[in-house]
Structure 1
Amino acid sequence: MTHDPNGAPPGGVLERLTAALGAEGTRRGPPPVERWNPDYCGEIPMRIAQDGTWHYNGSPITRPALVRLFASILRRDPDGRTVLVTPVERVGIEVEDEAFLAVEMAVEGEGVTRAIAFRTNLDDVVPLDEAHPLSFERDPEGGFKPAIAVRHGLRARLTRALAYDLVELCEEREEAGERWFGLPAAGRFHRIAKSAELGAAELS
């Protein structure tokens, strides 16, 4: 990994990022990271593991308040890089899978009028809607791994238990002359895969 080209020691990165947010500390609501575009300063030794835990210099970050602070300034840039951004600095970090983990799901109603919301491991509450769509990736076993859009290009991977709960709400429908497996919710039918392509695959 590379570090700040200005030569700042990696041990001071967390302190610099926190200090840069000091003036924003009294702001109501989340930091406006979409409006901040400082120069890219290289990668830092920070990693979000597949299980949602944050690590710095190989050690877990054990202070929840610190994790939430850094999560509030996290975004995914158009080039696919995940960065922590302040008004004065932008640094890349490693994300093993997705930035967040969806750990709880609330469901109300039936069919296409069904409302669904997810809670992440950092207590973001995200409704399934046009601004927060579901996406599905194939895993090596041929199943599907769902994720929900959270903010700033970042997504939350559903836990295996939630994925199974979600598939229980899915059904097959015919659309445009083809059979689809998908989820009726939030005002429409969310296509997951063509029924003919599913075979024995299942959400995982």
Structure 2
Amino acid sequence: MDRLEDLLKHAEGDAPAPVERWNPPYCGDIGLEILRDGSWHYQGSPIRRPAMVKLFARVLRRDADGRTYLVTPAEKIDIAVADAPFIAVEMQVQGEGQTQSLVFRTNVDDVVQCGPEHPLRFAVDGAGGAFKPYVHVRGRLEALISRAVVYDLVALAWPGPDKGPTGIWSGGAFFPLPV
């Protein structure tokens, strides 16, 4: 069995904190930010302890207003996010074509199986027309798919249903690439 598949099975029993149900008072901005490369910083200095970053990631929430917070039962703190809070750094492919399934691991070790519950989204970046793919992780949180993984992802493109636009199949769902 592959490593990501093992992680996915382990993650099924390791639910994230129920941050969507918590409604603590807002406590302000203390200088936390996630840069475009996925690194976490506190008041301009990188947080170098992976265990601390993973702990913070477990209590991360993006609200309907588009702002991202660290949330505990007692407090809600602003966190600036340059792009996406997570980076998909690894992908495992099972099957091919319409029956394929993609499993992604993020830089904070969230593991998700792409499909209807964890869809892919493609955003067009800038005037050059390049696209950036994202995979839904949980709540309103997504992972930007790293450049190295994007190349592997694009290699999996297939024609869409009824010979429609080219895209990616995973978990029985089709995600068209931007034209």
**2:106 touches 2:143 (CA, 8 Å); kept in 1?**
yes
Q: Distance in 2 between matches of 1:69 and 1:89?
A: 15
TM score, norm. by length of structure 1: 0.76
Q: Distance in 2 between matches of 1:112 and 1:186?
A: 8
Residue of structure 2 aligned with 1:90, choices 48, 56, 76: 76
The one-letter amino acid of 2:176's match is R
Offset at residue 151 of structure 1 (A): 1.1
Q: Distance in 2 between matches of 1:191 and 1:89?
A: 40
Please give the secondary structure, in 2, of the residue aligned with 1:80. coil
Q: Distance in 2 between matches of 1:85 and 1:124?
A: 18
Q: Distance in 2 between matches of 1:154 and 1:173?
A: 27
Q: Distance in 2 between matches of 1:121 and 1:135?
A: 18
Residue of structure 1 aligned with 2:170, choices 185, 189, 192: 185
Is 2:98 the partner of 1:112? yes
Offset at residue 150 of structure 1 (A): 0.6
Residue of structure 2 aligned with 1:158, choices 127, 134, 145: 145
Q: Distance in 2 between matches of 1:80 and 1:93?
A: 11
Offset at residue 30 of structure 1 (A): 2.7
Offset at residue 174 of structure 1 (A): 5.7
> If you compute each CA radius of gyration, which structure gives the higher value, 1 or 2?
1
Offset at residue 166 of structure 1 (A): 0.6
Offset at residue 191 of structure 1 (A): 1.8
Match of 1:11 in 2: none
TM score, norm. by length of structure 2: 0.86
The one-letter amino acid of 1:144's match is F
Is 2:124 the partner of 1:148? no
Match of 1:123 in 2: 109
Offset at residue 189 of structure 1 (A): 2.2
**2:160 touches 2:176 (CA, 8 Å); kept in 1?**
no
The one-letter amino acid of 1:139's match is D
Offset at residue 119 of structure 1 (A): 0.6
Report the RMSD for the aligned CA atoms in angstroms.
1.5
The one-letter amino acid of 1:172's match is P
Q: Distance in 2 between matches of 1:174 and 1:61?
A: 45
Offset at residue 57 of structure 1 (A): 0.7
